Structures are given as C-alpha cells and as structure tokens.
Amino acid sequence: MTHKPNIAYLMNTYPLTSTTFIRREIEAHERRGLRVTRYALRGRDGELVDPLDIAEIDRTHYILSGNAGGLVKAFFRELMTNMGGLLKALGPWRSLLKQARGGVIRHVAYLMEACYFRQRAAADHIDHVHVHFLTNSTAVAMLARIMGGPTYSATVHGPDELVDAPLLDFPAKIEHASFIAAITHFCKSQLIRFSSIQAADKIKIIHCGLDLSGFEATPPPDNQTLVCVGRLCPQKGQAQLPAAVAALKDEFPDMKLVLIGDGESRAVIEAEIARLGVGDRIEITGWMENAKVREVVKNARAFLLPSYAEGLPVVIMEALALGRPVISTYIAGIPELVDEGCGWIIPAGDGEALVRVMREALTASPENLRDLGAEGRRRIEDRHDVDKEAEKLGALFEDVVKRRKL
C-alpha cells in the first residue's frame, strides 16, 4: 500500500463562517485517506453558527493566539539550533517587509511564527503544508520552508489578495512554493501578471468544490422570492439592491428579497431600505448555519449576487448545485461559471440592467427556471465536486512529497 503523506493546512484565521469551503476541502482529503493536521495563526473573529465549523476549533492548533511566550522561545531555539536556516530566511523576510512598505513589528511576528511552525511541523512529521490565500499565512509557510521546514503550496482566490498583490511579494511566495493553485483561469492570469510568465507552469487550476451529497437539486418554486447570500460589504454590491426592489415593487406585489449575511455594509443597506420604503420587501437575516441557508435558497426562485469584486463565490456554486438560476455580474471568475445557460449575467454597477434581469427572473416560466437550474447543477457536478477537486490537489501533494524524498 502506498504511504499517504502527512499534510498540514495552515490558515490565517480558522474556522470562519466565510471559509467553510476550506473545511470541506480538508474533509474530502480525509475521505481519501490523507492525514490533515490543522494549524491557524489565530482563532475565529466573530460568532460561528454552523456546528461543523464550531467542531473544528478543538481540531486546530493555534500558533499566535495566547502563545506569545511560545513564539519567543521558538525564535531563540531556532537561533541556537538552526542559525544557518534562520540567516537564510532573513533576505526573503526583508523582501516581504520592503514590499509591504512598513509594518516591522508585524513582520517580526511572521518570522517568529515561522520558527514556531517549522519546529511544530517537524515534531508532527508534516511532509507538506497547504495554505489558502497568498497573505500572511503564506509568508509564514515560505519563511519556514526556507529555514528547512516542509514544502508548501497555496490556493489563491481573490479579490482582496489580488488587489493587495503589490504589497504581498507574490513573486517570492510563488518562487519558493512547490505549486500554486488558482481557482479560476482569471485568477491564474492575475498571478502571472503579478509574478512572471515563467511562473505559468507552476500555477494549476483547482476549483473550489462542494460536497454535493448535501445539495439536493429541486425545481424552483413558483413564487416571487429572490435570495442573496454573502458578507454585507461594498465588494458584494448589496447596497444597490434596495433601489432595484423599489423599481419593481409595484409590478410584483408579492416580491420578496432575503439577504443572508452580516457585515460592515449592513447599516448602509438598512438606511437605503428605509429611505426607499421597501422594508416590507427586504429581510436581512444575519448569518445562519449552512443547512438553514440551503433551505432558504431552495425556497427562492432565483439567487442574486450583484458583486463589484470577487474571486468565484462559493455561494453561487451552492445556489447552482441546488438547482437555482443565478443573477450575477461580469467580474473576475464569475463568467467562467455563469452565463445565459444557467442564469443572467450583467455588468457590475449597472442599475438598469439589474432591474431588467430581476424582472426576467420574476417573470420566467417554471419550465425555463427548471432548465436553467438543471444546467447549473450539471456544471457544478462537472467542475466543482469537492471530491474530484481534492483528488487533483491531493495528487499534487503526493507528487511533491515523492519528488522531495527521491
């Protein structure tokens, strides 16, 4: 029997309501027989609502939270036992600091975290570490690798890390990585843009995936309910929705929009709802556990996400997996999944187009909605099955470890 490598996942903050896809990916690896050890720099920031996310807390080793003394000890231990590795990491560390244009204390913390993580990974017999997002957790994995720690890889999503790319030293993080996983072709193009064309072969397309056993596709109901799921923030564009609902409310007396989520834009959205007098048409539920979210989406005729900045939203995949047509925008990787075959796609920020496609969704026949939803489900089964994508990613892990041991 082939020995399965010991894999670590190193996250910045874990678990989070917004990163359930990472938990699903880890679980898919474990179903394949991989051992996955969870590490995070810090614990959750905010309340968790899903029991499966809550259960991850006790399975995760936290590097920074409540561990200042441990980090200091790890640094001096590295200085005494691995001075060569530590000195080797100082050049890349200075590059990180220079690209970030400041933040010395923060970057000193990254170096100490890297010392701690390298030592912990050695004690836990970790063969390879995987990171999501090319941010501070990847900096820690990179520095630990340079000091003699395990090989690493990273999945890149966007939009925030791509917006901040000039500050995050993408070239160094990509250079020292065994490979980089991009969730879309758009994402890959941006990674090449911020590094070099020579990095192209190192960047692999690995989609975010869903555990489809938890997503039963059903025909959309014949009602006037639309649903939007996501953090309430400027990037998602939800502040545009009250005006669209106000434009349609007289035409569709039974129309309802459900906003699931919370965030910094909630007050702005609530002010727009009050200003436009659509409080009886729009409900903001706050965060809900995943099973309840799925039920709300299944009780809507279509899903809506008018984003201004994205990677490829997992909530769009979830809506399509449930058989719901999607209304969204020509942003980043969204057009790689959504088009007229499974919903409606419009320019971001175009209020008139948003009203038009919401009207089309509200007047579409049951047969049309069913056909759009069925095509969306087919695309998810083909491209975003978490077990299929985890198998691709796991094969890359195994190849890296095999080559390292030769």
Q: How far apart are the C-alpha atoms of 177 and 202, rounded to whole Å?
A: 9
Instruction: Give percent above pLDDT 70 in the chain.
Output: 99
Q: Is the pLDDT of residue 56 over 80?
A: yes
pLDDT digits (tens, 9 = 90+) for 235-258: 999 999 999 999 999 999 999 999
| CATH architecture label of 212-383 | 3-Layer(aba) Sandwich (3.40)
Q: Specify the pLDDT at position 17.
A: 83
pLDDT band at residue 225 using 50, 70 and 90 as cut-offs: very high
Q: What's the pLDDT band for 1 if we cut at 50, 70, 90?
A: very low
Q: Is the pLDDT of residue 47 over 80?
A: no
- What is the rounded average pLDDT for all residues in the chain? 95
pLDDT digits (tens, 9 = 90+) for 252-277: 999 999 999 999 999 999 999 999 99
Residue ranges, CATH 3.40.50.2000, the chain: 6-209+385-405, 212-383
The 10s digit of each residue's pLDDT in 275-325 is: 999 999 999 999 999 999 999 999 999 999 999 999 999 999 999 999 999
CB-CB contact of 118 with 147 (8 Å):
yes
Q: Which two tokens stand for residue 286?
A: 């706050």
Q: What is the pLDDT of residue 45?
A: 64
State residue 146's pLDDT score: 98
Look up the CATH architecture of domain 6-209+385-405.
Answer: 3-Layer(aba) Sandwich (3.40)
What per-residue confidence (pLDDT) applies to 375?
A: 98
The pLDDT tens digits of the residues spanning 353-386 come to: 999 999 999 999 999 999 999 999 999 999 999 9
Give the 3-state secondary structure of residue 282: strand
